[in-house]
Amino acid sequence: MNPEKVLFGFFIVLALTLNFGFFVGELDNPDHHHVYELFAVVVVNLVATVLKFGDRTQMGAVLLATSLVALLQLFAAALVWTVAVHVTESGLTTVTMASIVSLSGGAMLANVVSVVLLIIETVMLRR
Amino acid sequence: MNNIIFLIFRRMRAPLLTLILAYSVAMLGLVLIPGRDGDGNVYYMDFLHAFYFVSYMSSTIGFGELPHPFTAAQRLWVSLSIFFTVVVWLYSIGTVLALLKDETFQRALTERRFARKISKLRESFYLVAGYGQTGEALVKALTDRTQHAVVIDILQERVNLLQLENLREYVPGLCADARLPEHLLEAGLKHPLCEGVVALTNSNETNLKIAITAKLLHPDIEVICRADSHDIEKNMASFGTDYIIDPFDAFALYLATAIQAPCLSLMQDWLSLGFNDLLSDPIHPPKKGLWVICGYGRFGKAVYDKLVKEDLEVVVIEAEPSQTGTPQTQLVVGRGTEADTLMEASIERAVGLVAGTDNDANNLSIIMTARELNPDLFVILRQNRKYNDPVIQAVGADMVMLPSDIIANRIRVLLGVPMQHQFVRLAMHQDDEWACQLISRISALVTEHAPDVWEVAFTEQDTHAVCQYVREGRNLTLGELSTDPRDRTSPLACIPLMLLRHNDFSLLPGPDLVVQKDDRLLFCGRVSAKHRMEWTLQNENALNYILTGETRPQGWIWRRLQKREVT
């Protein structure tokens, strides 16, 4: 058992599950999407991305790319949230909530790709 | 490029992870702990403010408690988190800074910068491995002739020296081990414009390794090597190294030539000087009598062999004959710096002395002592270090052998004027009388400065006017070409030394020779003659003036007008 693989797999899957947890619920209902969950998703995704640094394989490069995409989407979602609440002071309207959740949905897609890639790699390297 | 990014990423993994972890813990604590606003209402800090606060707290900038003054619980958490976030922050910054100063990282950066510089080179260049005394002299000589070079040396100080040197062309230098093929490749071994590799390091094995790498990876280029052991030389020759230069053998041969044919050696001397150097005087080593050789090392042996071949009587003085081997003639054990050793070698009746140990101070001492015993000696001094020049000049030896200069000079001729090398080789088969005549012809041409030697290739690009003339089916002789394009009654101050036609060499072609396309000619003479001849070779009007004495109208209108006058 390779502890590096365990840690790596853990964070990749955790990023996906947390992301899913934030995403489920009515798209435009602020009560269904908690800010703590978004925070956790961002942090876990950051960790998962950093864990891929320095991996010189082709698979590692693609995984890094998908993680970067997920991060980009999540940052956008967090930014929309912050701007809506603190800058424009319009509060969490259904419109902004919908865009935040759909952005995180995009991030989830990237995380799904990451997990699929991880599974493919594991299956290919059956050891 | 990839290397460097991966290096940074790999090193940054741990600090970044701890940074993310510390930040998120501190932020989470701030968000979860209830605070009170100005009116005493309970509020929870949001993530934006938590991130803002943690950012300035951990980097110890510190703006105060935001958005409202903290409660005791919040202060407790902040005072805890200050310690771990600040430590983590310093740790990550420290890692980045350490990485920037890291030697591996710096090396990777320099090598990459160097390789990029080389791949951008757009002019042909020579790869010089080893920037010691020889390399320095060679690079200087090459760049003075506006040829380009790339240097690779194992010592950083020498590469720094290269950067300080005031050279005419920019010479990129890399500090690396030339034995590793990867470094030679970085220095442009496979570059299409790399014309040759010159291995000048002070280790025979390294030179051998460079030569074989170059021959395998880029078989078309010239490989020139320095070597001073006969075994290594044979090894190098076995896989087709183009030129192998042994400074000791080269000097011994030169000495033998000087004894046999002083004019030949003087001619060789003059032709290999730069055109700014002063002409040297002929030397006449004694042809008969006793020679004393101090030091029976590589140099001593090379000179010994040649002197014995000339049927001269030779006595060798050597301090450690057990290491160097013993000559067949008389041997005196000692260093030669003391009067009694020299007396034992009968210095009083000797005509020549070779101070050939590998220590400059000892060589100087030998000469001083020997001259006291016998002031009329012909003295040959082996100089080991270039920086001893002032003392070496002060002692005033009749001949000085400095290996690095000999090699640099040879290679400069090989790379700059390849035909000259061929010419000297062929001239060796001529007698001294021939050389003396040539010497007197050369000295009539030039003043106190040495002649310049140049090649002319009769190709469309280099000699446009001549080629056009020849293509029209007309004959052009060498005598006509060596006429001054300013005044056709006076000849140019130059001598055609050699003609190369269809791989045949002919020495000293006469003025009646009719030039053909693709001939190659070697000239020597004044620099001004070289420039004026270029004029004739390229410019139709100059050529026409030389041949007919008329200045043809150059423009279309004047040509029209002249035609009308004629008709």
Domain boundaries, chain A: 3-124
CA distances (Å), B415 to each of A40, B127, B184, in order? 69, 12, 20
Query: Would an 8 Å CB–CB cutoff place A35 in contact with chain B?
Result: yes
* Size of chain B in residues: 567
The pLDDT tens digits of the residues spanning B466-512 come to 888 888 888 888 888 888 888 888 888 888 889 888 888 888 888 88
A to B CB pairs, distance under 8 Å: 40
Which residue, of B226, B245, B264, is where some domain finishes?
B245
Do B83 and B153 lie in one domain? The reply is no
Following DSSP, what letter does each residue of B507-557 receive, concatenated?
Answer: ES--TTPBP-TT-EEEEEE-HHHHHHHHHHHH-HHHHHHHHHS-----SHH
Predicted confidence at residue B11, as pLDDT, reads 80
Q: Both B126 and B61 in a single domain?
A: no
Any CB–CB contact under 8 A between A15 and chain B?
Answer: no
pLDDT of residue B567: 56
Q: Which phi and psi (to 5°) does residue B188 adopt?
A: 95, 25
Confidence (pLDDT) at A114: 92
Radius of gyration of chain B (CA): 36
Distance from CA of A79 to the nearest CA of B (A): 9
- Residue B266 pLDDT: 85
The answer to whether the beta carbons of residues B44 and B31 sit under 8 Å apart is: yes
B19 within some domain? yes
| pLDDT(B121) > 60 | yes
* Structure confidence at residue B197 as a pLDDT band (50, 70, 90): very high
The pLDDT of residue A110 is 94
Question: How much is the pTM?
Answer: 0.66
CA-based nearest distance B538→chain A, Å: 58
Highest average pLDDT, of A15-19, A24-28, B5-9, B420-424, comes from A15-19
* Residues B132 and B240 placed together within one structural domain of the fold: yes
A-facing residues of B in 103-122 (CB < 8 A) are none
The residue of chain A with its CA nearest to that of B5 is A54
* Alpha helix positions (H), B325-428: 339-344, 360-373, 389-395, 403-416, 418-427
How many residues belong to chain A? 127
Scored b (16 or more CB within 10 A) or e, A30-53 reads beebebeebbbbbbbbbbbbbbbb
B326-380 pLDDT per residue, tens:
788 788 888 878 888 888 888 888 888 888 888 889 899 998 888 888 888 889 8
How far apart CA B283 and CA B381 sit, in angstroms, is: 14
**Per-residue pLDDT for B1 more than 60?**
no
Report strand pairing: B173-175 vs B331-333.
unpaired
Least confidently predicted of A18-22, B232-236, B435-439, B445-449: B445-449
Is residue B216 in a domain?
yes
Q: Which domain holds residue B23?
A: 2-101
Mean pLDDT for B448-469 is 84
Nearest CB neighbour to B9, from listed A54, A85, A86: A54
Residue in this structure with the two tokens 């934030």, named with its chain if needed:
A22
Q: How high is the pLDDT of residue B554?
A: 64
pLDDT for B14 beyond 70: yes
Is-cis flag, bond preceding B282, omega within 30? no
Report the domain count for chain B.
3
B28 interfacial to chain A (CB closer than 8 Å): yes
Which residue type, as a one-letter code, is found at position B481?
A: L
**Does A90 contact B at CB distance below 8 Å?**
no
Average pLDDT over residues B36-64: 87
State the pLDDT at residue B126: 92
Residues 6+ apart with CB under 8 A from B251: B299, B302, B303, B401, B403, B406
- Mean pLDDT across the stretch A88-112? 90
Q: Taking 90 as the threshold, does the pLDDT of residue B395 lie above it?
A: no
Contact between residue B188 and residue B194 where contact means Cβ atoms under 8 Å apart: yes
Provide the residue type at A17 as one letter: T
pLDDT at B2: 59
Q: Is A115 on the interface with B (CB under 8 A)?
A: no
Rounded Cα distance, B137 and B153, in Å: 15
Whether B46 and A86 lie within 8 Å, measured CB to CB: yes
* Residue B47 phi, psi (nearest 5): -65, -35
Rounded Cα distance, B427 and B389, in Å:
31
Residue A127 has pLDDT above 60, yes or no: no
Give per-residue pLDDT as tens, B516-537. Answer: 888 888 988 888 888 888 888 8
Of all residues in chain A, the one with the smallest CA distance to B2 is A56
Q: Which residue has the tokens 């070409």?
A: B481
Structure confidence at residue B463 (pLDDT): 84
Tokens 């600040």: give the residue. B86
Would you say residue B12 lies in a domain?
A: yes
Contacts with A, B 460-519, CB within 8 Å: none
Q: What is the pLDDT of residues B245-293, one digit of tens each?
A: 888 888 888 888 888 888 888 888 888 777 677 787 878 888 888 888 8
Given a cut of 90, whether residue A76 has pLDDT beyond it is yes
Hey, is the C-beta of B170 within 8 angstroms of any chain A C-beta?
A: no
Q: Dihedral of CA B317/B319/B324/B329: which sign?
A: positive
- d(CA A82, CA A76) in angstroms, rounded, equals 10
Inter-residue contact B218 to B191 (CB < 8 Å) = no
pLDDT tier at B553 (50, 70, 90 boundaries)? low
Helices B527-538 and B540-548: angle between axes, nearest 10 degrees:
100
The Cα B256–Cα B7 span in angstroms is 59
The partner residue sitting opposite A50, judged by closest CB among B13, B24, B31, is B13
pLDDT at B343: 84
Which of chain B's residues have a Cβ under 8 Å away from the Cβ of A64?
Answer: none
> Cβ distance A62 to A117 under 8 Å?
yes
Structure-model confidence comparison of residues B554 and B62, the more confident one: B62
Chain A residues close to B9, C-beta within 8 Å: 53-54
How does residue A1 score in pLDDT terms, banded at 50, 70 and 90? low
A73 falls in which pLDDT band (50, 70, 90)? Answer: very high
Whether B18 and B91 share a structural domain: yes
User: A100 — contact with chain B (CB < 8 Å)?
Assistant: no
Percent of chain B residues past pLDDT 70, beyond the cut: 97
Q: Would you state the pLDDT for residue B3?
A: 67
Residues B142-156: tens digit of each pLDDT: 888 788 899 999 988
Which candidate from A47, A56, A82 shows the least CB-CB separation from B48?
A82
The helix (H) or strand (E) run that includes residue B331 is strand B331-333
The alpha carbon of residue B27 is apart from the nearest alpha carbon of chain A, in Å, by 10
Cβ contact A56–B24 (<8 Å): no
Lowest-pLDDT range, A2-11, B118-127, B205-214?
A2-11
Least confident segment among A105-109, B30-34, B144-148: B144-148
Cβ pair B326, B297 in contact under 8 A: no
This complex has an ipTM of 0.71
* B566, pLDDT greater than 70: no
Residue B320, pLDDT > 60, answer yes
Q: Is A53 on the interface with B (CB under 8 A)?
A: yes
pLDDT mean across residues, chain B: 85
Residue type at B127 in one-letter notation:
L
Beta carbons of B529 and B458 less than 8 angstroms apart: no
Question: Distance between CA atoms of B161 and B424, rounded to whole angstroms?
Answer: 34
B87-96: pLDDT as tens digits = 998 898 888 8
Residue A66's closest CA among A2, A120, A7, A1?
A120
